[in-house]
Amino acid sequence: MTDFSISEDLLQAENAARKMALDEDYTALARALRRRGIDSDELTRRVMAFGVAIPTWGVGTGGTRFARFPGPGEPRHLFDKLEDCATIHYLVRATPTVSPHFPWDATTDYAALREVAAQHGLAFDAVNSNTFQDQPNQEHSYKFGSLSNVEPAARAQAVAHNIDCIAIGQKLGSKALTVWIADGSNFAGQSNMALALDRYLDSMREIYAALPADWRVFLEHKLYEPAFYSTVISDWGTSFAAAQELGPKAQCLVDLGHHAPNVNIEQIVARLVRFGKLGGFHFNDSKYGDDDLDTGSVEPFRLFLVFNELIDAGMRGAEDFAPAYMLDQSHNVTDPIESLMQSAIELQRAHAQALIVDRSALAAAQAANDALGAHLELKRAYTTDVSPILAMARLRAGGAIAPIETYRASGYRKHKARERPAVARTSVGIV
């Protein structure tokens, strides 16, 4: 018996039931946008071209250090994860790539993995290394750090792992390596913070030297956790300086949850763009710490402001500007597939809203120091409900007008619960 997948018939039936309402809403919005000099079909085409990568670690139920409550039909291995990623892309048509994490996604035949992904209509985005956990039979522990560990053998082990990830990524067709390290300290005095950064840079130079010519390495900063006094790559400034020092293939990755509350992340994005060092994003949302909540679920206006900087940079023809878009979330209380679909839609929404900002009116208001006028140009775009454009983009790309409703109508999760007998697993931590 082949594994269940959502049929074209069900998709067509679900769309047919919603098509007339969508056409009405789309036509009304198109008329309103035309009055603002915006071509809704062109906007829909731009939205159809938008893509974000799904993190393989995001399709399983996430958890915290306190507990993880796995749901029915959990993916048991990478191939189940790819099946769920394919289901997300089938319905929202905005997630054509997958970002894997090693060794969580380790397998024996990466060429076969690439082939299976291709059969699902998926490709691989940046690969993620993991030197923040010790693997069984690992020779040197990362308890006191990895790339910045005082032990040369532990650093060499971490460098070797990152170089292995590059080799795996090449087999998968990836073009980038994301390096996030948990290295830091919990007590003042525990670590010489200057020397720790030097050790990190020495290790990163070896990893940088192993990069193929057309690859990039993304340095991911994070303010704290799991280190709670100092973190080696704690902010965009350190990440930027390290990327500058390493060379043109090194850029900075902005995980939205890795900043202190109220930090102006959109300005960090503008700065990294200015210096050609914006490598990409891990999109999520947060209220307090690195909460890894669903994108756009807490601060949708901030997400819009980030995309406002990205669209402005694109229109300015910023150099070395090809940011990689990836989600990085932990789904502790929702069906991960539903959360990932809605998060991709919230990214499309922020992208579309940023595209309809009247940039000449905004520039004129800024030049005239018309503070409120300028702000209202952004608010006008942000308060435009572009949902019909997003739905039409999905429909024209062969997807679902209403992805979550269609997914629920399919009973996909119930089928997977039958196909995927629950596997006993330690049940703490994010995956």
Q: Which helix H or strand E contains 245, and what residues bound it?
A: helix 236-246
Alpha-carbon distances of 415 from 2, 78, 97, 268, 407, rounded to whole Å: 11, 18, 24, 44, 12
Query: By CB under 5 A, what part of segment 114-173 binds Mn ion?
Result: none
Closest CB to ligand LRH among 285 and 328? 328
Q: Nearest approach, Cβ of 105 to Mn ion (angstroms)?
A: 15
Q: Which helix H or strand E contains 306, and what residues bound it?
A: helix 300-316
352-357-361 Cα angle (round to 5): 170
**Distance separating alpha carbons of residues 200 and 186, to the nearest angstrom:** 18
> Which strands, in side-by-side order, build the sheet including 97-99?
123-124, 97-99, 53-55, 324-327, 278-283, 250-255, 216-220, 176-179, 127-128
Of these partners, Mn ion, ligand LRH, none, which one is at the site of residue 97 (CB under 5 to 8 Å by kind)?
A: none
Query: By CB under 5 A, what part of segment 273-332 binds Mn ion?
Result: 282, 328
Closest CB to ligand LRH among 290 and 309? 290
Q: Is 320 left (phi over 0), alpha (psi -120 to 50) or beta?
A: left
> Which residues does 173 contact at the CB level (< 8 Å), separation at least 6?
114, 123, 124
Q: Nearest approach, Cβ of 112 to ligand LRH (angstroms)?
A: 25
Q: Nearest approach, Cβ of 282 to Mn ion (angstroms)?
A: 4
Closest CB to ligand LRH among 131 and 406? 131
Query: By CB under 5 A, what part of segment 242-261 binds Mn ion?
Result: 255
Q: Nearest approach, Cβ of 238 to Mn ion (angstroms)?
A: 16
Of these partners, ligand LRH, Mn ion, none, which one is at the site of residue 266 (CB under 5 to 8 Å by kind)?
A: none
Whether the Cβ atoms of residue 289 and residue 225 lie closer than 8 Å to each other: yes
- Residues at the contact surface with ligand LRH, assessed by CB under 6 A: 57, 128, 180, 220, 222, 255, 282, 290, 328
Interface mask toward Mn ion for 384-403; x: CB under 5 A? --------------------
Q: Nearest approach, Cβ of 220 to Mn ion (angstroms)?
A: 6
Of these partners, ligand LRH, Mn ion, none, which one is at the site of residue 128 (CB under 5 to 8 Å by kind)?
A: ligand LRH
Residue least distant from ligand LRH (Cβ)? 180
Residues that bind Mn ion (CB under 5 A): 255, 282, 328
